A and B are shown apart, each in its own frame.
Chain A
């Protein structure tokens, strides 16, 4: 292995040791469901808390804006892959699934303790092969999982079924179609469609957003990428006769360091993300000045093959954010072995400077403007040491980190409001203006027998010292995971993932903390492949073994799911 690639491998490992790509997610963007190298608590497809154990700090990964997420969707204050409008590769596909536990014939003999309704997942779409560079695409997708516990409450807020299809009040439902053109120089497409979303707000409310239309355009040319979306969003709460609208234009323009640029010592990328909004009537969040412009720059300096420094810096009239790291490998490479030491820093006034600045909270006589942009700044520093050693068909790796964070974001609760079976909070996003310190350790073993199969065992722990009662989430202290992947006769894929995560706890979203008990999870994907035909028949079981629990306050039960997909590539 070349040393530079080993350095890259270790760098990737330092960000996410748990590469569990073999388990198919129930939908694009829901990969954290099958991860446990940290604290991953799922409230539904439009909200999850995803904190990687070795990443340091208290925030969840999707709360932090990075240049890599410029094309992600902004759902309240999170950058989310789902619901993705990135066109798929040329293919036609159908997906369906269900939360397991519908009664079918048990229905007629079950008098008491009747299970609630289980809800499905649906997706269908296509992208044509290129015809002289032109192609067409369409996709309809919605995830009804995680909807039944709150649907009775949510459906009173809206005037119709709030979905493209069905009456389960899914957390999102999206449909789009469009045309594109791709050749050696240009990749461009325009899409238009409609979308229903429930966004999880700081108050723990689910806010219904109906976008009609939503239009998105994208152009890649040379080293430039332009992405622009127009959204006409309708808001409503029919219980109190509220309705409002938001017209929004958002997107980004990005210059990336190309192939020639990457040969140099200084590698520079730059871009700007933007949002312009115009609100009318009753809306539930607000953006200062109705706009945000976010210019940013990335710089990589690699003076020696074993030394690398990265910095990302963004700033506008109200916020700034810096993410930088210095990473060093051994100057004297040893075959099969690598050691990396590094430090990284995240400082800024907001984790996500593109998010709205205020949530308007009115409920049961309480009226409050929840400030989402706290004063001051946060500083996170982290030092880490990672190593990997490969002997024959066994690889042993590990990483140890120490991190300290000052000014971590939290929520100062002014009070709670109970409505129906649920509890909501008001107050302001604030900071913990003292140092929180943590140490982490992770160890993994990879084993493979020639090219026949791949196995990984990994474990990690973390100890945090700080005012735990002010943490939004007290993360899990340890995890252990085993994955095994086979490709039988090159055409039948079987992937397993068996994991355990210790307790995690929500501290601030209710009078009483919500403890998410530690549990075992088993996921498995089975796939018949016909490579010559480009045909793939896939079935995936998700979260077998685990107890059905609520992982996020006001969220829904995490249940065993089965999802199957038929896909034909062109």
Chain B
């Protein structure tokens, strides 16, 4: 298992190489602005979009024994990063009902923040594929004064946070003036224990270009 992980790390090290283009100025913030004029990121934020999104979250694997499918709603910000890449930030909320028996609360409040990049590969346009990191914050829907106990569900009585990663496909399908409607399909893995938690999220969004 460990060998597999080491090989995965090595492959990931090499996988980023084809994108490498220029010097390793590790801390370019020390440079004056005129020195970085030719930076591909100069086009960052030349386009900015805001969006609202709603959809459903589907737990996978053993997580299906834990919670039910859940509707979610949220807001997003997308911005041009390079000519063929966009950056995006998402925040959404879901009330996730507990499926497991014997838990002293009916559901969990879930807030999710995501930060990632979309790649507009010209062979796939208008689809974009993206990936990034996710942060999941949860708290049980409970009025109980006890903020912790050692049984199942006990830790959720206090705030719980976990990070993870995701990959997604962004499928815009309707354009009207500054508005775009589309579908996001997102696969997400939280780095939880004792098992990783996998979820599929499918949501529709309406996006408006700000500039």
Q: Which residues of A contact B (CB under 8 A)?
A: 21-22, 97-98, 100-111, 113-115, 117-118, 120, 449, 451-454, 482, 484-494, 496, 498, 520, 522, 524, 526, 528-534, 536-537, 539, 544-545, 560, 562, 564, 569
Contacts and interface: CB of A to CB of B under 8 A. Distances in A.
A545 B194 contact: no
Contact of A531 (B20, B29, B100, B108): B29
B192 A114 contact: no
B6 interface: yes
B39 A100 contact: no
Nearest to B25: A487
A22 B27 CA distance: 9
Contact of B162 (A104, A113, A498, A524): A104
B103 to A, nearest CB: 5
A490 B26 contact: no
Contact of B66 (A106, A452, A526): A106
B195 interface: yes
Given A486-B19, A539-B133, A531 B24 contact: no
26 contacts: A101-B162, A103-B160, A103-B194, A104-B197, A105-B108, A105-B138, A106-B192, A107-B153, A108-B153, A111-B152, A451-B22, A487-B20, A487-B23, A487-B25, A490-B28, A490-B40, A490-B41, A491-B40, A498-B10, A522-B9, A524-B12, A528-B87, A531-B29, A537-B87, A544-B9, A545-B6
A498 B16 contact: no
Given A488-B16, A498-B9, A498-B10, A108 B100 contact: yes
Contact of B20 (A108, A453, A496): A453
B12 A496 contact: yes
Interface stretch (B57-65, B168-176, B177-185): B57-65
* Interface size range of chain B in the complex: 35 or more
Given A103-B155, A104-B162, A532-B41, 11 more contacts: A98-B162, A101-B162, A105-B66, A106-B62, A108-B153, A109-B62, A485-B26, A490-B36, A532-B36, A564-B135, A564-B163
A453 B24 CA distance: 7
Chain B interface, DSSP helix/strand/loop, else mixed: mixed
B146 interface: no
Given A451-B22, A452-B21, A533-B45, A107 B156 contact: yes
Across the A-B interface, give the 6 residue pairs with the lowest CB-CB distance, nearest first. Answer: A491-B41, A451-B23, A101-B193, A489-B40, A488-B19, A100-B191
A98 B62 contact: no
B128 interface: no
B24 A485 contact: yes
Contact of A532 (B24, B42, B162): B42
Given A104-B197, A498-B6, A21 B161 contact: no
Interface string B120-146: 000000000000010110100000000
Contact of A100 (B25, B45, B163): B163
Interface string B79-118: 0011000010000000010101001000010000001010
A487 B190 CA distance: 27
Nearest to A520: B6
A490 B25 CA distance: 8
Contacts of B31: 531
A492 B132 CA distance: 13
A537 B197 CA distance: 25
B154 interface: yes
B10 to A, nearest CB: 7
A103 B193 contact: yes
A452 B9 CA distance: 20
A562 B193 CA distance: 15
